[in-house]
Amino acid sequence: MKTIFKRPEALAETPTHYCPGCTHGVAHRLIAEVLDELGLRERTVGIVPVGCSVLAFNYFNFDCQEASHGRAPAVATGIKRGRPDLIVFTYQGDGDLASIGMAEIVHAANRGEKFTAVFINNAVYGMTGGQMAPTTMPGQVTTTCPAGRDVEQVGYPIRMCELLASLRTPGFVERVAVHQPKYIIKAKRALKKAFQYQADNRCFSFVECLSTCPTNWGLTPLKAVQWVDETMIPYYPVKNFKSPETEGEGDAD
């Protein structure tokens, strides 16, 4: 009998602790499928973050390092510079990457570090219980902006892909979503490209995944999917922002 669906080898046989309707599991699985398909699992090191996915090293079936909050890109830089033969990826949420770790991700991207950064954007701090993130939507209610995000006070949500794509250094930058099958298929394609660029020793690669957090959004899983469609995607366009092939387009110099 032909096997048409199985657990990827790069995913451990362990139940995850994620909430119902959370898309971390989807993102984990896509990474695992891509590493299996590219045959990279045995030389991969994943950098797991501080946040809901802090225990991801239990869910992946390859070597992992646990980074401190925000520093995954620096940890990845250390590994990749010291051992360029390894395949290294970071996995960070929005508070981790776009708030406390802003310096590390921008400089790693700007140096063109040849690792893959996976950015899970669900517009909220998850593990600490739903506080405002740099990516929280205008008017979105969180535990630290109970009246909704006031852009007069704290500015607008940061668009990381747009910010990183503005850097002159070549790279691959794409925003995807992992809340619905049609987006998930494209997300996998983007992740595969990202890891392929790394395997080819080509460039820094960055994939932002628009994700759900029903628990901290106070929505049912179905309503959360709808919220991504109606609130996040209009502000965070799902598309490719930069790739080595299109390098130089639109540059003033």
236 part of the interface to another protein, by CB under 8 A: no
115 closest CA partner among 186, 12, 46, 210: 46
- Residues within window 34-73 making contact with another protein, judged by CB under 8 A: 41-45, 47, 54-55, 57, 60-68, 71, 73
CB of 198 to another protein, least distance (A): 14
* Residue whose structure tokens are 């219980």: 129
CB of 138 to another protein, least distance (A): 30
Which 3 state secondary structure label does DSSP give 240?
Answer: strand
Q: 176 — phi, psi (to 5°)?
A: -130, 180
- Residues within window 100-119 making contact with another protein, judged by CB under 8 A: 103-104, 107
199 part of the interface to another protein, by CB under 8 A: no
Q: Of 46 and 157, which has the nearer Cβ to another protein?
A: 46
CB of 113 to another protein, least distance (A): 10
Residues 6 or more apart from 117 whose CB is under 8 A from it?
72, 73, 76, 89, 90, 92, 97, 105, 108, 109, 204, 205, 206, 207
Q: Which of 39, 82, 146, 181 binds another protein (CB under 8 A)?
A: 82
CB of 54 to another protein, least distance (A): 6
Q: What is the size of the binding site for another protein (CB under 8 A)?
A: 34
Q: Of 43 and 202, which has the nearer Cβ to another protein?
A: 43
Q: Which of 26, 27, 52, 75 binds another protein (CB under 8 A)?
A: 75
163 part of the interface to another protein, by CB under 8 A: no
CA atoms within 13 A on the CB side of 137: 17
> What are the helix (H) ranges across 200-232?
214-217, 221-227
Binding site residues, another protein, CB under 8 A: 41-45, 47, 54-55, 57, 60-68, 71, 73-83, 86, 103-104, 107
